[in-house]
Structure 1
Amino acid sequence: MASNNVLKASEIFEGQVHLYKHLYAHAVDCMSIKWMIELGIPDIIHNHGQPISLPKLVSILQIPPSKVRGVKSLLRYLAHNGFLRIVRVHHSTEENEAFTLTPASHLLVKGTDFCLAPMVKGITNPTLSDIWSHLRKWTYEDDLTLYDVSLGSNFWDILSKNPAMNESFNEAMASDSQMMNLALRGCKWVFEGVETIVDVGGGTGNTAKAICDAFPNVKCTVFDRPQVVEKLSGTKNLTYVGGDMFESIPKADAVLLKWILHDWSDKDCKKILENCREAISGKGKRGKVIVIENVINEGQDEQGLTGLKLLMDVHMTCLFNGKERREEEWKKVFVEAGFQSYKISPFTVHLNLIQIYP
């Protein structure tokens, strides 16, 4: 490669392609997925039961003729990005192009067990779409998040003052919990010997319900902000408790922190974990804290997975003053919170399950 001051023409053109790729994708990548959901395209293809041609899809959606070319453009871009698959189908003497679902777009079919459409809705909320334009100001505002800089308040205060956004956030987290519940089915060993468990930040209780179904003798407590749980009803082995994890956490054999700690700074994580350690102590046996989070590992993860984790790290850092962590960073937080040992296990493709012990 040429020096920084003298680039070859080929390098300049390659740089231009790389730059334009990211500039043009800025809004289109996520908004085209939102568009696909709003039009119900994954549902239409799913219900069609076979690859669907563009004319058939256009007919079902009643697309004006002037927009057919644009719809085709969006569909082909979504296919390029892995959200649709283009196949060739034969009809009589003609061969036509048709679209079918991929594993990613299967997750956007409404009414299925593993539908992540609420996550798309939450992330593409119009109220939040402009906040990234304030990155320069955020850079120079000590200890403020992008929410503070752009909207004048942190994310949690925004949720407490906006019931519709709070509901959308809870739905998004509930949809993501279904994915974690799928992974938990293969981790029954985690709950061996556990009689009581507290799901901190457990939202509407999707994961706790899954644990209760799999382990009827385990008593689960969902612990979250009062406005999240105040209208929820429990069952024989499931209860809802409102409170503040920075003040105290209900007593239990185990505490579950599912995608919680990455929202917070090391200092805040230390306080949360100290309260967890207090919650699992004094019962005459060794309790534990179960943490489900990313562990950044550039040395072992493939490039695309590392890219996702680093992208999430940017989100957590800028939006919440939180962070995604490498193993040595997790270890530091655990030790400072008074824990003696930990064990990291695979969970989903991008998440790990970490058991930590006092």
Structure 2
Amino acid sequence: MEAPKGGVFFSARELHNLIPFHLTLRAAIELNVFDIIAGAPLTAAEIAAQIPTGNPNASASLDRILRTLAAYGILTVSFSSSSPPAYGLADEFQCLVSSEKSSSVISRAANVLGHALSPGFDSFCEMKHAVLEENTVPFVRAFGVTPYEYFSERPELTKNFNESMANNSKFYIAVVLKTYRGFDGVTELLDVGGGNGTLVGEVIKAYPNIRGLNFDLPFIIDSAPAIPGVEHIAGDMFESIPNAETLMMKV
């Protein structure tokens, strides 16, 4: 059998590494690595010292994670003849720093972690059955319930999902509001499936004359923060939607 050419071989290897890389990134987020190195480059030992662990070999294991992320250009590496390599966060990936430390609203760590969490991963593993079997929903096949039912019983996953959606909403609506004039003259705006109310809240900031209504499932509304000018309403959009002058839905 003829050996594959170099380009083909490395392309195949890259496909093989997609899942390990994603899960390595997830581990770094869960270990708070990006927040720890946000100020200045640190060695694996210096980073491990800020992670609550009793593992004496933590820095060696962490270094493998850091080297993988550096190979993908997410981390920078500086070498010194007198000390171990120091890892920093590449400029284009500053968005991975948590919202408490970063002003970025484009793609914070919650967005990445949200896709790497077990429910999403396990449901993707069932994707082929949506082709093979009639009326098959991969998530339901994996867990026996809809995503909304699953998340309603898991507050931490709901919190992460809402943060992810809120971060996206802030970025997109900031771009929309620069040119879109469709909110001119609107006096009441209902966001259907509005999550924690971030999207309609951003519109109300730009148009304080509008009465904002945020409509979503009860378990989401229960944890929604108070937002000036926005009233939270609990319900199921597949059953009924509150009457309002103007409706908005972001997909």
- Where 2:27 maps in the other structure, the secondary structure is helix
> Do 1:197 and 1:253's aligned partners in 2 also have CA atoms closer than 8 Å?
yes
Task: Name which of 49, 60, 74 aligns with 2:65.
Answer: 74
Q: Which residue of 2 aligns with 1:52?
A: 42
1:200-247 deviations in Å (ceiling 9; x for gaps): 111111122222222211211112123322465756631122233344
- Where 1:189 maps in the other structure, the secondary structure is coil
**How far apart are 1:146 and its partner, in Å?**
0.7
**How far apart are 1:249 and its partner, in Å?**
3.5
Does 1:31 pair with 2:23? yes
> Do 2:201 and 2:228's aligned partners in 1 also have CA atoms closer than 8 Å?
no
Q: Which residue of 1 aligns with 2:12?
A: 19
**How far apart are 1:198 and its partner, in Å?**
1.7
Letter in 1 for 2:77: I
- Where 2:37 maps in the other structure, the secondary structure is helix
Does 1:226 pair with 2:218? yes
In 1, Cα distance between equivalents of 2:167 and 2:205: 18
- Structure 2 unaligned residues grouped into runs of 5+: none
> Do 2:201 and 2:227's aligned partners in 1 also have CA atoms closer than 8 Å?
no
1:276-329 deviations in Å (ceiling 9; x for gaps): xxxxxxxxxxxxxxxxxxxxxxxxxxxxxxxxxxxxxxxxxxxxxxxxxxxxxx
In 2, Cα distance between equivalents of 1:83 and 1:212: 36
TM-score scaled by length of structure 2: 0.78
Does 1:245 pair with 2:237? yes
Task: Name which of 175, 182, 185 aligns with 2:167.
Answer: 175
**How far apart are 1:122 and its partner, in Å?**
2.7
Letter in 2 for 1:44: I
Task: Name which of 195, 199, 209 aligns with 1:203.
Answer: 195
In 1, Cα distance between equivalents of 2:17 and 2:138: 23
The size of the alignment, in residue pairs, is 246
Letter in 1 for 2:17: Y
The alignment-based identity, stated in percent, is 24
In 2, Cα distance between equivalents of 1:10 and 1:231: 54
Does 1:84 pair with 2:75? yes
**How far apart are 1:85 and its partner, in Å?**
2.2
Letter in 1 for 2:66: L
1:160-201 deviations in Å (ceiling 9; x for gaps): 444443343323322333333443453463433332222111
Q: Which residue of 2 aligns with 1:101?
A: 89
- Where 1:186 maps in the other structure, the secondary structure is helix
> What's the C-alpha RMSD, in Å, of the aligned pairs?
3.3
Does 1:217 pair with 2:209? yes
1:75-131 deviations in Å (ceiling 9; x for gaps): 12212323222345x7xx869743222345422322134372333333233344333
- Structure 1 unaligned residues grouped into runs of 5+: 1-6, 260-358
| CA 1:153–1:232: 2 relative to 1, 3 Å | closer
> Do 1:131 and 1:150's aligned partners in 2 also have CA atoms closer than 8 Å?
yes
Q: Which residue of 1 aligns with 2:136?
A: 144
**How far apart are 1:59 and its partner, in Å?**
4.4
Q: Which residue of 2 aligns with 1:304?
A: none
In 2, Cα distance between equivalents of 1:155 and 1:139: 20
TM-score scaled by length of structure 1: 0.58
> Do 2:48 and 2:58's aligned partners in 1 also have CA atoms closer than 8 Å?
no
